[in-house]
Every structure is written in C-alpha cells, then in structure tokens.
Structure 1
C-alpha cells in the first residue's frame, strides 16, 4: 500500500455518491466550496444502480405489458405478445449507464473532485481513502456522511441463497418466476407483487396480520381489490415455522392468523427485510457520534451530528429510507455549512408506490380524522368518471381529498390511479402551503386530463362535483 505523505486540504468531503451525496457535492460547488466526493462503488449509489431506477424500469415494462389489451381496442393489432427478460435487463443496464454517465459529467462540469475508494475517519477532520494499493489522506473543515443503508434478512432466513432474494437482487433475475412468494408489507413488496404479476408470475404475499402500508383506508381497500382481481393471493401469518430451499425453489411452512399450518412452495421468495445504516466501516464509533439503537445517526434540523463538523444525510439518519429525503437533506446540509438557514421539514413527505396503477399519498388520512376527532369534509372521486381516464382505459382508482370543515384548509390528498406520481408534487405543494378548497377550485385545469379528477374531488367536498352522480 502506498500512503500519501501529504495531507490534502478540502473545505468539504462527502462520503457516499448516492442521490444525497452527489446532490450535496454539486450544491457545495455551486456555493464556492472545494469539495471531494468519495464513492466506494458506482456513482449514483443504491438508488441508481440496484434500487429506485432498476425497479422502475421493471414497473414501466410491466405497465406496458398490462396495457396490451387496450392496444387491441385501439385497433393496433398484429402485435405478438412476447416478453424477453434478457432484453429488459439489457435496457435496464443501458438506462443505468446513461444516468450514471450524466451524473459523472454534472460533477465534472461543476468542478467536483470524484474519488473512487473506501473512506475511513482517521480523526474528526481527517479522512483516509483506500483504493487498491493507493492510500490518500485528506484534511477537511466539514464532512457529510451519505453512505446509505443495506437490507438484511429477517432471522430464520438464509443470507446467502439463490432462491431467497432481497430488494437489490429481485430485479436482476434472468427469468420470470412461475411462482413468487413475497414476504413483506412495505411499498417495495407491493411494487414487486404488482410487477411480477403483470409479467406472468403467480404471486402470493405473506403479511404479518394486515397490510402494513400506512395509506388511507380507501387506498388499502382498492389495492387489495386490484390484487384480488389479478389473482394475487394474500396470506396473513402469525409465525414462520420453517424454510427449506430446494434445487427448483423454496418451501415455507407458516402458521396463519387462523392458527393453521400451511406449506407453500414457489420458485423464489422475495423478502423486503429491514434496513441497517452503512456506518460500521467508516470508523465513526471512535468519536462517540450519537446514534439510535439501530445505529442510525442522530442529526439536528441542519443535518449536523453530535460533532459540529460532521453532518449526516439520507439513509444513515433516522426516518424513512427514501432518495427524496436524502436529496433534500444533502442540499440543506451544504447550505447550512455555507452559512445559510435551510429548513427541512419531512412532515408532508409524499408516499409513492409504483404499483399498477400507482399510488401517491400526502397528509392526513381518514383514519387520522377519526383518531384525532377532527371536524373534516371528505370527498372521493373515481377515475372511471374522468374523461381522460376513459380515453386511456386507466379507469381504476380514485382521488380522495380531506379538508377542515371550519377553515376549508386541505389536510390530505390521496390517489391511486394513473398519473398519481406526476400529480403528487402538486399534492405536496397544496398541503405544504395550507391551501384552501378555493385555491384548488380557482385555477383552470387542462381538459381532458387526469388533473380534472382533483378538481372534481375538491368540488365534491360540498356536493358540487360535475362528473359524478350526486349521492342520495
């Protein structure tokens, strides 16, 4: 190993080149800081290389395949319905490569120094970087830890298995499973179920007693209805009794919520698992940085840890493990380091699920209204009554709006239906600005368009929705 004799000085070092890390690096360069971004693997982190982007390539393909019957209705015939998994994997690789190249170019053009290697804290303000036989030392005024998190198997399941897969492995399969078991109740599990069902797998979801997603009750009900329609089976388990991996699959024996034993065999088992922060290898334990019981770093409103010069963002911090959170925190941390006064409030962080159709949820749910005994108005508009949904045959789902009866302030917006992901930004903005019903009714909406369903849902709060039969 060659050790650098001279310690190189930087204003800021960022450990981890995922969405939060590279966003922070570019923002730092924009603000005039000398910044070095250190990434042990590929730039883009888990999200780009094995997480968000690969999974969305699959959800996009599944949605296109599910739309095939509608093409026949449109008179587009002669299409031979075939699915080539190798071609999809090649497309996924092409998309990842293009996006990764784009990020590298953005960093280069912003004068961000990028180093590939393993970073370790030598002291509070000294970072060592190992890359093969090369070892460099950097001295910095501030450091941002953006090393992300990793999924781990629950107790009782094999950690090294070709048939039991975690989130970063399921979308690397070179075959479509004939039967797929899913053990989990988070958004990734729901996406995997939706995708592989559309691609031809017989899917069974094993839940711990109930659907774990914290959606509005109406969305939970609609999602379960769609799963039933697509013959996705749901089993509620009390206990996992045994797991047996064979040459052609995996067999699970569970105790159901009805205290009965059931044995299920499938080609593969997908497990959402739990996520742990990637902090053990960077040497922060020697400084006594404050962490919670699970190892996540505790930070203040500016992303500063218990040590003034060390900041942490994204999955290594407490809270949801989402790229949108990491990006927002990364920018805020750098702006704080530069003397700004940024604000990060994750109260109305949107919950997005790329099922078929997709889900977007922001703000209070109907359950919250009941729990806190709020005086609220609730309106739900079905997508089947939307003109554009009728054209595109995306008629499943609805938009649900909840407002305060006394102030007319919008408390929550929830949607399952085509266009939900794109409309979610508007949902967040409306709830964040404490918009009133009139704020949603005043603008003109594109016609025809999915957004008109939001207008109808808001007008429905006072019984004035145009495109729905009045309730008796």
Structure 2
C-alpha cells in the first residue's frame, strides 16, 4: 500500500467520495480517509433516510384522503419501526454502493481518524495503529453536525437531534421543533402527517428564513391548515423533563412567556463545522464564522490544503459539496474550462408538504440590488395536472432583470417542485433570457407548465391567469 498520494481526502461524505472518484478518474493516485460511515451525514442520517421517512408520511396523508379518488380502507395499521427499518436499509444499500465505486476507481480507503501533522502530511489513526501519509494535495471534507443551543443540548431521550428523530421507537404524541430551516420544516411536516401534535418555533420573523417571503408565508398557512402551530420571533429557553413530558419555556413575539409541554423536543437550529482535532490551528488555517475559509477554487490560505462542502460553509447542501469536490479536483489537476461555483444558484430544496425549491435571489434581495425587475407568478390552482392530483396549493415565481432578461431568481412551492427546479438551473447556466424561456414548449398536462406560465407572467403574457 502506498503511503504517498497525489490527492488525499479527509471525509467520505457526498463531497469527499465524489472528489476521490473524480481524482482517480483523472489518473491521480488518490486516498480517502473516513472515520465512521461512507456517505457521511447525507446518506446515513440526512438527505436519504429523511426522504424514505417522508415517503411514509406521504402515504399516511394519501390514506387519509382516499375518498377523493373513490377508495375506502378500514383498520389500516402502521408500525413506525418498519418505516425506520426501510429508511435504514436504503442508507445501507447506498453506502455499500459507494464502497464499490471507490474500489472500482482504484481509490485507497483508510478507515480511521485523520489529523494534519504538517503541510501535505496526515496521520491516520487506524484500528491497528497510526499510519503516516503524504500527499501533494489534501482536501478537507469533514462536514458538519447539529449545533446545540445554550441550555438546549440533545440528550437522546426527551431532547432529540435529527439522529434520534430518524430512529424513533414510537411516534410522539406531541413534538416541539426548534428551528424552521429545511431540516426543522421537514421534520415538522413528517411528524404531523404521522400523527404528532407539532409546534414549530423560529427566532426569525418567518419560517424558512432563507426562502422568498411569499413562499414562506404560503408554507406557514398550509402548516396552520394542517394543525401545525407555528411561532415566529420566538425562542425556547429552559427545558426540563418530568415523567413522560418535556416542559419548555417559550418566549413569544410579544414578550410573553408560555409553558409548552410535549413528549419530545427536536433541536433543528443549524449546524456547526467538524473542524476540531484536525490540526488546523498548528498550520494556521483561517477560520471564518466557524467554517474553514476558502477561495473560489476551494483553496485555504495554506498551500496544498483545500476544503469543500459543509466544513467550508454555506450553502450546506450535499449537492453543493459534490460539485465543489469535482471543481476542486479538476482545478488542481489542470482540467481546462473549470468554472467557480455560483453559490447563489445552488438549488435549495425542502421536502415538506408542500415542497419548496428555489435558486438565485429572493424578490427582496433582487430589489435591494436596485435593478429594474420583471416578476412573474403563476398559481398551481390554474394548473390542470395539480388539480387532477388534488395538490393545487402553491405557485411558481420568476424574477428577471427587466433590461437584460437575465434570470435572477426562481422560487417554487407546491407538488414535486424539487424535481423541477433544475429546469431553471439549466436555463441560468445556459444564460437563457426571459424571452428565450418564453419560447420553450412545455408538455401538457404537466406540473412544469406552471414554470412556463410564470415566465410568461413576468411580461404580462400568462395564458391561463
């Protein structure tokens, strides 16, 4: 086994393993160090298992509305442990596939904990002892973990992180979710559909703080209609357990304190980078707002050291990490035509009910640039496919520069929007203007017709308003 490599990657999540595969494809001698699970948080505890659980929630919702489509069912049984087992099996299948891909591409895998001991020098703690490795290029892809709040630390019992929320023994009768980013909103939606009485608490003035204000407002209305209590400009203070309940002190927007008792509290108030015990301090690696600081090519301030994915900061998304892994490796390998990542156009997706998908600037951010804008909006209430599905709540919003026709932002909320947002991403990448997009033929009947109508609406040309 070689102890000297061209590229050595620390962390086997969606950024690290993709970077390793691409480096090996380019003929670089490549090693990957992973201390626990290939696939990282995404495949093991994030993106993938949550979607399997959310599918179960979708089935629960469908069963409650069978009469709409002429069906009825009695004595339907549900076992949360079976759904959890399904989600874990999906993760196991995918992580096994990663191991196969690494082997197929000739990547050397070290199962252990890595620490930088100098420039291009890494010590790996393996089961059999320490091994010293050298590499011309070292890429940090160590990811992130849930961020605790003062006085609100997950205990695995009454106070959950998303780890515990993905493997419940039973559905809690009541749940308080702290934080309403994508993770908090998804779990609030999931557990509400499975039968929990859910309260969602957010410190900011709107849920989904990174999303367009109009999108967030619709999700809040839909959550309220479903019986989910939403508290914005609110914060959770002391939490103490007593018997089968967690008693929470919540400061409301008007300054009043309310005591809320629930079976479980789920902490979903952000993440923090996994940068401890990596040897960064000794090398003088720059840290910015808790994350490793990098340039457009994922380079740190230390020559030959790079960082990708969550450890390098927002947007903390698996597909952003994978993209950075590829561009980082291709740039250091001298591949022609590599472009820096436009982080504003990394799509963000929230797989709640309703789904949310967006890229580019929100309307407020676009207006703040001072540009002249054209804004189009089209409701799914006027979309035949959405009506046929019985899921017509939502809309598509497009934001264009009025002078150049450049697509500045796209925001979607409604059925299967996470499967459609890439259309606007492709349009932006190909520099398609509002006029060009208006000439595209969209199939009928499809949900995506709402995208076309939202483009046309920006010029007052929507056909089905």
Residues 279, 408 of structure 1: CA spacing in aligned structure 2 closer, same or farther, 3 A cutoff? closer
- Aligned ranges 1:70-81 → 2 under 5 Å: 70-78=65-73, 80-81=75-76
Specify the SS of the correspondent of 2:48. Answer: helix
Query: Structure 2 CA distance, aligned partners of 1:240 and 1:42?
Result: 33
- Aligned ranges 1:51-450 → 2 under 5 Å: 51-78=46-73, 80-212=75-207, 213-236=209-232, 238-294=234-290, 296-340=291-335, 342-343=338-339, 344-450=341-447
Say which of 30, 37, 40 aligns to 1:35: 30
Q: Which runs of at least 4 in structure 1 moved beyond 4 Å after TM superposition?
A: none
Query: Structure 1 CA distance, aligned partners of 2:280 and 2:401?
Result: 46
Structure 1: which 5+ residue stretches go unaligned? Answer: 1-5
Shift of residue 187 of structure 1?
1.3
Deviations along 1:116-162, one digit per CA (max 9) or x if unpaired, are 11112222222222122332221211111111111131001134341
Deviations along 1:376-407, one digit per CA (max 9) or x if unpaired, are 22221111211111221121111112223333
Residues 237 and 254 of structure 1 are in contact (CA less than 8 Å); yes or no, is this contact kept in structure 2? Answer: no
Query: Structure 2 CA distance, aligned partners of 1:7 and 1:367?
Result: 53
Residues 412 and 431 of structure 1 are in contact (CA less than 8 Å); yes or no, is this contact kept in structure 2? Answer: no
Residues 50 and 87 of structure 2 are in contact (CA less than 8 Å); yes or no, is this contact kept in structure 1? Answer: no
Shift of residue 241 of structure 1?
4.0
Give the number of aligned pairs.
462
TM, length-normalised to structure 1: 0.93
Shift of residue 26 of structure 1?
0.3
Correspondence for 1:464: 461
> Which stretch of the first structure deviates more once superposed, 60-69 or 393-402?
60-69
Query: Structure 2 CA distance, aligned partners of 1:69 and 1:168?
Result: 28
TM, length-normalised to structure 2: 0.95
Residues 357 and 413 of structure 2 are in contact (CA less than 8 Å); yes or no, is this contact kept in structure 1? Answer: yes
Shift of residue 79 of structure 1?
6.1
Residues 182 and 203 of structure 1 are in contact (CA less than 8 Å); yes or no, is this contact kept in structure 2? Answer: yes
Residues 303, 237 of structure 1: CA spacing in aligned structure 2 closer, same or farther, 3 A cutoff? closer
Shift of residue 259 of structure 1?
2.1
Residues 344 and 359 of structure 2 are in contact (CA less than 8 Å); yes or no, is this contact kept in structure 1? Answer: no
Residues 154, 382 of structure 1: CA spacing in aligned structure 2 closer, same or farther, 3 A cutoff? same
Query: Structure 1 CA distance, aligned partners of 2:264 and 2:345?
Result: 36
Residues 154 and 274 of structure 1 are in contact (CA less than 8 Å); yes or no, is this contact kept in structure 2? Answer: no
Residues 7 and 137 of structure 1 are in contact (CA less than 8 Å); yes or no, is this contact kept in structure 2? Answer: no
Structure 2: which 5+ residue stretches go unaligned? Answer: none
Specify the SS of the correspondent of 1:226. Answer: helix
Query: Structure 1 CA distance, aligned partners of 2:402 and 2:153?
Result: 52
**What is the aligned-residue RMSD (CA, Å)?**
1.9
Shift of residue 411 of structure 1?
2.2
Query: Structure 2 CA distance, aligned partners of 1:444 and 1:237?
Result: 44
Deviations along 1:154-175, one digit per CA (max 9) or x if unpaired, are 0011343411111232112121
